[in-house]
Every structure is written in structure tokens, then in C-alpha cells.
A and B are shown apart, each in its own frame.
Chain A
């Protein structure tokens, strides 16, 4: 399985992809730096609303997960190299697991580092206390979100040739738009799972927030179910599909 893991890592290391992902990961530094320069310093709730919820959880997390998870199978289908893996004595889960691990092992450091640095700097710039805890909590919550998104988007890359577009629609329309207005959809939103975990790890930051966040137990169960179900669906798809 390590062969497939390192092969998948190598496949993800195209120059343009790495450059684009680093570019996306540094975007949250902009509001963090702005908070240093602003004369009217943002509050913790404002930082939560704009930086953590509005930018990191809603955009940076799904974009990085999407860009790393859809190609792990999508590129193999496009290049017709998937047969190199399926025509082997490996069980299908032995192909899926290392590929998912490869996507996650790039996505999590990128997202976590982006969250750690940007949240800490934003709190420092806003002259707020608790920046370290908020940064660590955000990094952990988003890392779990990245794991779940990667499972979901790996499957998407296997079933759709337009995985990137469908994934963006899901992240921005389903979770971003409907998830905001339809309260019940919070229970079916990976972003909400991540935010709930952040909230549980740093509850003080949410004091006075008008956001309704699902419970951390629900978020943990939801994350686990989505992770397991989409990994299983990927294995099942790989077992049943006609490999090009």
C-alpha cells in the first residue's frame, strides 16, 4: 500500500497545483495582516465570522480538499493509468486507503498551517487574548473537516468527470448558501461539523455569537459517518465500475 501512497503523492505534486494551493492557503493571511493595520480593531466574534467561518471553513477548506482529493482517482481515469492498480492482487480498499491518505496528508498540513498562522496573527493584530487557543482549535477542526471532505471528494473524482465543478457547487451552493438559510442542513454539512469541533475546543470565542452550531457529539458522529460511508462508496465503485 505504501507504493500507491507514494505514487499518489507524486501524482499530486504537479508544479501548478502546488503553486495554486499555496496561493489559496496564504489568502487568509490578508485579513490577518489587515487586522494589524486597522485602527478600528475587529472583535473576536467578527474574526470568527469573517476569517474562521467566512473564509477558512467556507472557502479555503473545501477548495484545498477538492483540489487534492478529486485528482487522486480523477487523474488516473483521465490518464488511463487506473488499470495499473486494479489489475493487481490488491483488494480495492488497499487502493482507496493509500490514495485517500495521500490527499489527506497534503491537505491537512496546508489547511492547518493556513489556519494556525492566520488566526493567530489576526488575534494578535486585533490585540485580542486567546489567539493561540483559537488558532489550535481552528486548525484541528479544519483538519477533521479536510479528512471528511477528502473522503467525499475522492469518491466524487471516481464517479464524475466534472468532479471539480460538482464539488464547488456542493461546497458553495449546498453548504454555503442553503446551509446558511435552512437550519436543518447544518446536520448534513461538513463545514458545520468542522465549526462545531472548533467551537467545542474553544467555546469562549463563541460567547455572544448568534450562530447556531450543532453539538460536538453530533458533529463527531456526522464526520465519522460521512468518512466511512464515502470511503465505502469509493471502494464499492472501484469494485463495480468498468475501468478505462
Chain B
């Protein structure tokens, strides 16, 4: 069985409205540390909108972002941002806002002073106003005049985000920005990112918390073991994984009877019965949906729930890692 056609997946995504000059171009980039290859021959473009850089911990996401931002030099290949390299042309940082995962902040400064410092370093004209606006954006006005050393982890993330946004960058690069955020902050953050993207900004966000990025990103880049395993629209990628059956959990009053009835259906590859839980593996979910209700009715089984088990990025990761 042939694998998914990743090139077509990517093309589909571009055709869906993300065409135009790339803001970020990563061309055949590798990074190694001694004999350890952290990133291997990765190529992709990032265009306006939200792009999710996804992968399990240790996949090479942060290394990739560090090369894109200019914090790390590429061992091979080329990275361009707005057509240039931030490492040789720091002026590009006027257009880029970067929030690095493990970046420290100056704990002795207050949140406001920290954001004002970021504004000054980025040569913002009205520092005070820009800092106030940015702090308001991340809902940290109440704590802005407290030293950062008194902040919780979530507050530190928010003040760093305020510093990242203070110069109104066209391109935002955010590495694991939701670490330490509570559920309410996550929702606020997601709303903020969607708002920023709707203003025409380009956002590249990395995360290993997949569900939250799935809600945000119009396009995803999947990095596994230092390689780009897939890129494009998440659902297009999922559909392209047609060599792997979907798992569907079926809740009913007589799972054994239903399992016996379903096993002969063309849409069903196999069934698993674990205690009273029926899990069906199907390569044709559409056909399964169409026939499930009829089969249950014929068997006199009452269905109480049907849940896809693997329509998440987590499952895609797992599948890609296992391949």
C-alpha cells in the first residue's frame, strides 16, 4: 500500500488561499550538534495566517524555530525571512516578534518596564503607549507594575507575549507559548492569536499540545525525528493517511451482538471488544456511518454513542512516529 502523497496535501493547502510570496522560507535546512542530527533536510514555506509547527517533544521544533529566528545558525541549507536573513540583517527584527520557549526575562524589572525595554530595543516611537497597549492586550494591566519575579509562570508567559507584540510585528514566531497557561488564559490567548491573524499577520506557533493548535492553525507542519513528516491542512493530512484504518468507538446496549453483526460488513476492517466497549477499525468511515444504523436496527441493538478515537493530531503523530 502506497503512503500518503504529502506534496499534494501541501499543494491543496496552498490552493486553499495561502498562496503568495512566502514570509518564511526554509530550504533544505539541517542542523547538527556534533554527531547528533537535530534537524534533517527540512523545507517548507510559511505564508500569512496561522501555521502550527507540531511534533512530539524532542522532534526538532525548537531547533527549527531557533534557526528561523536567527538564534541558531543552520548547519546546511538556507532560511530566509521576508527575503533576508535576520542573522545578517537585524533590521528584519522590526518586523518580527519572537517568543522563545526557554527565554528568560529580567526578573528585577516590573512587567511594564520589561515591555517598555522591549519597545525601546525595537525602536518603537511611542514607548509608553505601545507598552500599555500591549500589556492590555494580554490582560496583565493589574500586575504590570509588579516585579516579574513575583509573577506566576502563566503571567511570565503573558508579559513575554506583551513584549513580543509591542512593536506590532508582521510575523509572530511563538515557541510553546501556552506552557504554564491556565485554561482561561489558553482561550484568551487563542482568541488573541485569531484576532492577530485576522489582521493579516503571519503566525508560526509550535506546540506539542495538539488540540489547541488544531483549533488555531489553518495549516500544520508535522515534525518527527528532525524531519518534516507532513505539511498542509490538518484534515487533508488526516484524509491522506488512507493506509491506516480509523478507529471508532461504538456505545450500545448489546456490544457483543453488534460486533458479530458488523464483522461481515465491507466497511469494517476489524472489530475489538474490550469489556463492553466496541471499537471498530474502518478504512471507509463514510460507508460505516451509512451502514451502522441499519445494522443496529436489524440486530435490535440500541446505539447510545459513536466516537472517532483518532481524529486528532496526537493520533497522527503516533501514526507518523510508528511508520
Name A's B-contacting residues (CB within 8 A): 3-4, 7, 10-11, 79-81, 83-92, 239-240, 242-244
- For residue B122, CB closer than 8 A to chain A, the reply is yes
Q: Is the CB of A81 within 8 A of B100?
A: no
Q: Other than A7-B106, A10-B108, A89-B91, give 7 A-B pairs with Cβ distance below 8 A.
A: A10-B106, A80-B103, A83-B103, A84-B117, A84-B121, A88-B121, A242-B72
Given contacts A83-B71, A84-B106, contact A239 B87 (CB under 8 A): yes
Question: In the complex, what distance in Å separates the CA atom of A10 from the CA atom of B110?
Answer: 13
Partner of A90, one of B66, B72, B90, B104: B90
In the bound complex, CA of A80 to CA of B106 (Å)? 10
B157 to chain A, nearest CB (A): 14
A243 to B103, CA, bound (A): 10
Q: Is B152 an interface residue when CB atoms closer than 8 A count as contact?
A: no
Contacts of B69 in A (CB 8 A): 87
- In the A-B complex, the 10 residue pairs with the smallest Cβ-Cβ separation, listed nearest first, are A80-B104, A88-B121, A81-B104, A242-B72, A79-B104, A3-B120, A243-B71, A89-B93, A83-B103, A89-B94
A-B contact pairs, 26 of them (CB 8 A): A3-B117, A3-B121, A10-B106, A10-B108, A11-B108, A79-B104, A80-B102, A81-B103, A81-B104, A81-B106, A83-B98, A83-B103, A84-B104, A84-B106, A84-B117, A84-B118, A86-B70, A87-B70, A87-B86, A88-B90, A88-B93, A89-B92, A89-B123, A92-B90, A240-B73, A242-B66
Residue of B nearest to A2 (CB): B120
Q: Complex Cα distance A85/B98, Å?
A: 12
* Interface size band for B: 20 to 34
Q: Which residues of A contact B108 (CB under 8 A)?
A: 10-11
The count of A-to-B residue pairs whose CB atoms sit within 8 angstroms is 66
B70 contacts across to A, CB distance below 8 A: 86-87
Chain B nearest Cβ from A149, distance in angstroms: 26
CB distance from A82 to the nearest CB of B (A): 9
Q: How far is the CA of A164 from the CA of B94 in the complex (A)?
A: 35
Question: In the complex the two chains form, what is the Cα distance from A209 to B121 in whole Å?
Answer: 52
Q: Secondary structure of the A side of the interface?
A: helix
User: A85's closest neighbor in chain B, by CB?
Assistant: B121
Give the distance in Å from the alpha carbon of A68 to the alpha carbon of B106 in the complex.
18
**A-side contacts of B87, CB under 8 Å:** 239
A87: which B residues are within 8 A, CB to CB? Answer: 69-71, 86, 93, 96, 98, 100
Q: What's the least CB distance linking A96 to chain B, in Å?
A: 13
Binding site for A on B (CB under 8 A): 66, 69-73, 86-87, 90-94, 96, 98, 100, 102-106, 108, 117-118, 120-123, 163
Write out the residue numbers on chain B whose beta carbons fall within 8 Å of the beta carbon of A11.
106, 108
Nearest Cβ on chain A to B206's Cβ, whole angstroms: 16
Bound together, the chains give a CA A160 to CA B103 distance in angstroms of 20
Residue from B73, B90, B92, B105 within 8 A of A84 (CB atoms) = B105
Residues of B within 8 A of A92 (CB): 90
Q: How far is the CA of A4 from the CA of B118 in the complex (A)?
A: 11
Q: Which residues of B contact A242 (CB under 8 A)?
A: 66, 71-73
Q: What is the chain A residue whose CB lies nearest that of B103?
A: A83
Shortest A133–chain B CB gap in Å is 42
| Whole-angstrom CA separation of A239 from B90 in the bound complex | 10
Nearest-CB residue, chain B, relative to A86 = B71
Across-interface contacts of B163 in A (CB, < 8 A): 84
Q: Residues of B contacting A81 with CB < 8 Å?
A: 103-106
In whole angstroms, what is the CA distance A28 to B105 when docked?
Answer: 38
- Chain B residue nearest to A241 (CB atoms) is B73
By a CB distance below 8 angstroms, the chain A residues around B86 are: 87
The answer to whether A243 touches B121, judged by C-beta atoms less than 8 angstroms apart, is no
Quote the shortest CB–CB distance from A103 to chain B (angstroms). Answer: 17
A205–B73 Cα gap in the complex (Å)? 54
Best-buried of A83, A85, A240, A244 by chain B (most CB within 10 Å): A83
Q: How far is the CA of A103 from the CA of B87 in the complex (A)?
A: 26
Closest-CB distance, A240 to chain B (whole angstroms): 7
Q: Is the CB of B103 within 8 A of A90?
A: no
How many Å lie between the Cα of A11 and that of B105 in the bound state? 12
Q: Whole-angstrom distance between the alpha carbons of A9 and B42 in the complex?
A: 42
Would A91 and B90 count as touching, CB distance under 8 A? yes
Tell me the bound Cα distance from A244 to B102 in angstroms. 8
| C-alpha spacing A85/B123, complex, angstroms | 12
Residue on B nearest A13 in the bound complex, by CB? B108
Q: How far is the CA of A81 from the CA of B104 in the complex (A)?
A: 5
Shortest Cβ distance from B101 into A: residue: A80
In angstroms, how far is the closest chain B Cβ from the Cβ of A167? 24
> How far is B123's CA from A6's CA once the two chains are assembled, in angstroms?
16
